Amino acid sequence: MTQLKNSGGLQFIKHAHVADSISEYDQELRGIYAAEAPYSKFSTDATEAMTELLIFNLKKNNTVKLTGHSYEPYPLLTLDPRKVQVFFNKIKLEQGWTQNYVKNLQERLPYTTKLIALLKKEYGLE
């Protein structure tokens, strides 16, 4: 889209209403991009908060042997109530922003479907 706009390529599209529809779709996508930033940020924050809950035991003698194979046990969760509270608060924020992002995608689906149908019809791509 950036290339089409910067090079003036939209003017070379055979049907003007198709170029208008492509531009309209580009405007709709900006809403998705706007919703993607907080979704990404709060997903990262929740993941980082989760790592604050983990306690890794790095001692070599902590290896467990089972049926001839050795493995490191899973890390334990901390019992620090502050870290647990921060984690669940960040998870709640991540959940809300994920729902917002999905809602934005769903709201724009009709524009996507409509544009694809128009392009197929106008350019005989069916």
Residue 32 CB neighbours (<10 A): 14
Coil, helix or strand for 63? coil
- Report the run of H or E that residue 69 belongs to, with start and end: strand 69-71
Q: Which residues pair with 38 in a beta bridge?
A: none
The model's pLDDT over 94-124, given as tens digits with 9 standing for 90+, comes to 999 999 999 999 999 999 999 999 999 988 8
- At 63, the pLDDT band (50, 70, 90 cuts) reads low
CB 122 within 8 A of CB 18: yes
* C-alpha R_g of the chain: 25
- Domain ranges in the chain are 14-122
**pTM for the whole structure:** 0.67
pLDDT of residue 42: 95
